[in-house]
């Protein structure tokens, strides 16, 4: 039952972060998803990332659509703002919330059905507008909640649990996010927490649209032989191009790394991404090269994961619209309605 809270009992020696919170303070209600569902591992990674970043829970707003994936915000960040919207509509609801209050940290959680089928238009417009948020798609290649129909991200030729073959070409949300202008684009796997937690931390610190496509196997409907979104398939075909650490400031590197294998990327807010290069020919600052690399590897049957693209100086929606620094919902009546003379001046500019 989603309304069942977890027992409050906790060990007095649980580690605390800088705010004095334990990991438990970032948890939510008990999950009702199937045991072993990839989505639960992503919820655990979000909890870990927010705890390690010392984020005040009341400064976070988590929004979602409809689906097993979109149910998950109930299972993490129980002390944060939350809004479970309509199927495929999280992006527009989140854009509105962000315009009204730019001071919150926005986290959108969606599914491959929610974002690549019914919500594809909403996904595309959010990416091109550059809404400052972390957008996670929990990608299992099926509509889990409605019992396992192929979604738009299912690979051509992959098999359903009942043996049907998917004849349609897949939509690659990572390629779309790159093409539409997202300033942080990553792919990961729910079964690789070591890769996923730093990616979520970096995305939450990124001041622009940060998109993470996280492959998250559905154990009930899409974890069999013939599926390209099963735990076994992803483990066998996962090609990580880099590994990431997130540091609060530029710290000296003391360990001995081979030249060219490590790179520091300072983000707009002062946090530093420490990138360990695993594929030497991969450049996460080149949007066009990233697109062609991904497509070449996909044609070879590989799933490329890691931080695929980052713009260290991103722009975002409020910059595009030249809004005031103060959140719009904190403006007074006087500032919102400056009176007839101001309106006359504005009208005169339009004549
Ligand atoms: C407007 C509308 N159309 C269809 C549905 C039925 N529906 C609910 S969830 C879902 C698909 C969910 O798939 P996905 O977003 O991939 O989430 P998953 O369950 O796989 O995590 C559909 C088609 C709905 N709830 N609302
Ligand atoms: S149906 Fe699939 S996606 Fe939904 S909870 Fe079960 S395993 Fe997870
Ligand atoms: Mg799905």
pLDDT in tens, 31-41: 999 999 999 99
d(CA 23, CA 77): 10
Which pLDDT score is estimated for 10?
78
The neighbouring-strand residues paired with 242 are: 277
Ligand 1 centre distance from Cα of residue 337 (Å):
42
Pair of tokens at residue 75: 């299972």
Q: Is residue 151 within 6 Å of ligand 1 at its C-beta? A: yes
Pair of tokens at residue 332: 């007074």
For the CA of 67, the closest atom of ligand 2 is: 4
Average pLDDT, the chain: 94
Q: Is residue 143 within 6 Å of ligand 1 at its C-beta? A: yes
pLDDT band at 9 (very low <50, low <70, confident <90, very high): confident
Q: What is the pLDDT of residues 92-142, one digit of tens each?
A: 999 999 999 999 999 999 999 999 999 999 999 999 999 999 999 999 999
**Residue 133 near residue 209, CB atoms below 8 Å:** yes
* DSSP output for 59-117: GEEEEE-SSHHHHGGGGB-TTSEEEE-STT-HHHHHHHHHHH-TTSEEEEEEEHHHHHT
């Amino acid at each position: 039952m989603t309304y069942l809270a977890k027992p409050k009992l906790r060990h007095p020696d649980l580690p605390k972060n800088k705010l004095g919170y334990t990991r438990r303070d970032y948890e939510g209600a008990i999950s009702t998803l199937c045991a072993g569902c990839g989505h639960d591992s992503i919820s655990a990674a979000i909890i870990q990332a927010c705890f390690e970043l010392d984020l005040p829970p009341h400064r976070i707003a988590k929004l979602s659509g409809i689906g097993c994936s979109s149910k998950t915000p109930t299972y993490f960040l129980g002390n944060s703002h939350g809004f479970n919207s309509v199927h495929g509509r999280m992006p527009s609801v989140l854009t509105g919330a962000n315009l009204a209050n730019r001071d919150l940290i926005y986290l959108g959680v969606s599914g491959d059905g929610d974002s690549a089928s019914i919500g594809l238009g909403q996904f595309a417009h959010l990416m091109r507008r550059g809404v400052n948020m972390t957008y996670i798609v929990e990608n299992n290649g099926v509509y889990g909640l409605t019992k396992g129909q192929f979604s738009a991200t299912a690979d051509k030729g992959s098999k359903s649990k009942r043996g049907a073959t998917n004849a349609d070409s897949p939509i690659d949300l990572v390629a779309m996010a790159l093409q539409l202008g997202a300033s942080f684009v990553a792919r990961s796997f729910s079964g690789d927490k070591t890769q996923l937690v730093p990616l979520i931390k970096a995305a939450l610190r990124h001041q622009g649209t940060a998109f993470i496509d996280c492959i998250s196997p559905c154990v009930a409907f899409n974890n069999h032989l013939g599926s390209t979104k099963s735990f076994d398939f992803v483990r066998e075909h996962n090609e990580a191009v880099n590994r990431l650490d997130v540091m609060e400031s530029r710290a000296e590197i003391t360990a001995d790394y081979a030249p060219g294998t490590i790179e520091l990327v300072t983000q707009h807010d002062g946090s530093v991404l420490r990138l360990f290069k695993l594929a030497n020919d991969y450049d996460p600052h080149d949007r066009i090269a990233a697109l062609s690399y991904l497509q070449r590897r996909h044609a070879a049957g590989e799933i490329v994961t890691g931080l695929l693209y980052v713009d260290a100086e991103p722009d975002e929606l409020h910059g595009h619209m030249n809004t005031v620094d103060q959140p719009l919902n904190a403006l007074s009546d006087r500032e919102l309605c400056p009176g007839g003379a101001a309106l006359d001046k504005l009208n005169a500019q339009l004549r």
